[in-house]
Amino acid sequence: MDVQVTEGKDLVKGLAKEDFMVTDEGQPQPLISFSHGDEPLNLLLLLDISGSMQKHIELISKTARDALAHLRPGDRVAIMVFAKTSELHQDFSDNLGETARQIAQAVHNHDVGNTTQINAAVVDAAHYMQAHAGPVGSRAILILTDNLSLSFQLTDGQVIRELNKADTVFNAIVTGHAIEPRPPTPSMFPNPDLTPSNVMHLSDDTGGEWVKAERADQSFHEMIERIRSRYMLAYHAPSSTAGLFRHVGVTLTEAARKKYPLAELRARTGYYAE
């Protein structure tokens, strides 16, 4: 369980294992391990390189080295770009200086079309994470996009399932108006195969965070720090039927809640049993 704890916009960083309670289908679960910043991070940067987004990528590339300085030895970063289709720009690497340089190069030498298919790109990113992140450490995707996209026969629920199967938290930096779309209705989208993209929904359901970017470079810097400042909780999953979705809850103990009465927790809502 990858968990973020905040009070307002501030991160709560001083919690211990004894401050958390985890339930699986409503039943309390004893934690077998706990860490806060000690585990390695596998981070995939998913960059929308459609025409309207290139200026934002250029902006974050100028301060990428400082932003990635929040990461620690052993952390690895991969870069994937997308528009209509997606392509891997850089495999997972712990050379953070080279990764910072590669962000500026990501808008070049990729023929990924002109339209934008966000949900398909997120699924590709989840599959890459599942195949290449390895068994150790936490996993996170950070997308940079304007959230303007229609998905064909690929719902948010299907995307969230793939992110959960990959044990990956999804985070988003949203440029432009950054207005969360309303649930589609027959009058708005008469073709049920077409649904509007909603990276906010993907973030919320996987325990991640999204932010409206007034300045993409500043938001990028802040989001890297916040992704690196999450707690990792682990427990033995109860026996269950393979493929069944199990609901998980994470809360603070009564004592911790007294110390941080305004604390908000972000964590995945559940997982699929194996």
Phi-psi sector, 207: left (phi>0), alpha (psi -120 to 50), beta: left
Residues 150 and 245 occupy one common structural domain: no
Q: Which residues pair with 138 in a beta bridge?
A: 41
Tokens of 183: 């649930």
* pTM recorded for the entire structure: 0.93
Residues 221 and 236 occupy one common structural domain: no
- Coil/strand/helix, residue 173: strand
Residues 24 and 100 occupy one common structural domain: no
Domain that holds residue 18: 2-36+232-272
CB contact at 8 A, 6 and 263:
yes
Domain count, the chain: 2
In degrees, to the nearest 5, what angle opens at C-alpha 62 toward C-alphas 61 and 68?
65
**CATH of residue 218:** 3.40.50.410
**Residue 185 clears pLDDT 70, i.e. is over it:** no
Q: Which residues pair with 76 in a beta bridge?
A: 42
Say how far apart CA 88 and CA 105 lie, in whole Å: 12
Residues 20 and 57 occupy one common structural domain: no
**Residue 163 clears pLDDT 80, i.e. is over it:** yes
Say how far apart CA 217 and CA 123 lie, in whole Å: 25
Neighbours of 204 (CB within 10 A): 17
pLDDT of residue 193: 77
178-184: Cβ within 8 A, 24+ apart: 178/146, 178/147, 178/212, 178/213, 181/147
Q: Which residue has the higher pLDDT, 94 or 189?
A: 94
**Residue 171 clears pLDDT 90, i.e. is over it:** yes
Residues 212 and 266 occupy one common structural domain: no
